[in-house]
Amino acid sequence: MLSRANTLKILSALVLFGAWEIAGRIPVSYAFPTFLDSMRSLFEMIGNGMMYEAYKETLRPLVIGIIISAVLGIGLGLWVGLNNFFDWLFSPIFIVMQAAPLAALIPLLVLAYGIGLTSKVLVVCIMAMPVIVLNTSGAVRNTPESYKEMGKSFLASRTSILLRIVIPAASPVIFAGLRLGISAGFIGAILAELKITPTGVGDIITYSRSIADYPSMYAAIFSIILLAVLFLNLLEKIETVLFKGNQRGYVSD
């Protein structure tokens, strides 16, 4: 028997999809297909391999961009967090980047790097990196003094304090930053596809729109949103499993 929480989740999904179905039947607009039509189209595209091909294209800049952003972002974040000079030098850049609508840079990137893989990867990176860097550096800087003092009192070397105290203490916030960054990276990837050149899933969306095949268009959109959400939830689960100690409740001593 399902728990109450899960029952309600399924129920609310049914409500939403039901509403979608009804809206499609009214129809709310000629361009609004029913839920079932869209799902049919989705399974068709999965069946004939179109989805697979499309995602191969789409995921390439996304995955590359996310890996680069994560590695560079955390590295830079640690550096900025631990070193006062680099904090002074780099933090303002990232703070401005975080508040600003970075998507506006996309036309510029296209001008400079053309319409290939490079500019798409760059789009993902500029969307994802600022929040990762800022979260990491903030977390490292805000390590509770108490822990560092305790480490010092037990004769921990500076490396030990960094590896065994500062980084574990910062890891929840770093992970949160990663999740936000990846979410922004997804936005970047899709923007890149819709705006730069249509390939992959973006292509399915624009092409189906142009031939008024709305079920396919909605199916593609549904699939990418589903993917993003599943992936982020998976990431959260991984963090829970790998870092069991991070589920600390509120140890506010």
Site for another protein in 161-200 (CB under 8 A): 164-165, 168-169, 171, 179, 183, 186-187, 189-191, 194-195
Shortest Å, Cβ 61 to another protein: 14
Give the residue with the Cβ less far from another protein, 50 or 91: 91
Half-sphere exposure of 134 (CA within 13 A, CB side): 16
Shortest Å, Cβ 35 to another protein: 13
Q: Site size for another protein, by CB under 8 A? A: 84
Half-sphere exposure of 119 (CA within 13 A, CB side): 19
Compute φ and ψ for 144, nearest 5 degrees: -55, 130
Contact mark string toward another protein, 75..94, x via CB under 8 A: ---------xx-xxxxxxx-
Give the residue with the Cβ less far from another protein, 51 or 110: 110
Binding span for another protein by CB under 8 A among 70-78, 116-124, 132-140, 216-224: 216-224
For another protein, the binding residue among 22, 114, 149, 237 (CB under 8 A) is: 149
Contact mark string toward another protein, 223..252, x via CB under 8 A: -xx--xx--x----------x-xx-xxxx-
Give the residue with the Cβ less far from another protein, 49 or 245: 245
- Residues 49, 51, 53, 55, Cα dihedral to 10°: -150
Binding span for another protein by CB under 8 A among 40-48, 49-57, 65-73, 214-222: 214-222
Give the residue with the Cβ less far from another protein, 47 or 244: 244
The reply on whether position 115 binds another protein by CB under 8 A is no
Shortest Å, Cβ 43 to another protein: 19
The reply on whether position 5 binds another protein by CB under 8 A is yes
Shortest Å, Cβ 33 to another protein: 10
For residue 212, give Cα distances in angstroms to 32, 84, 190, 207, 217.
Answer: 10, 56, 20, 8, 9
Question: Taken in order 246, 243, 159, 129, is the CA torsion positive or negative?
Answer: negative
Shortest Å, Cβ 47 to another protein: 22
Give the residue with the Cβ less far from another protein, 48 or 160: 160
The reply on whether position 206 binds another protein by CB under 8 A is yes
Residues 44-73 that bind another protein (CB under 8 A): none
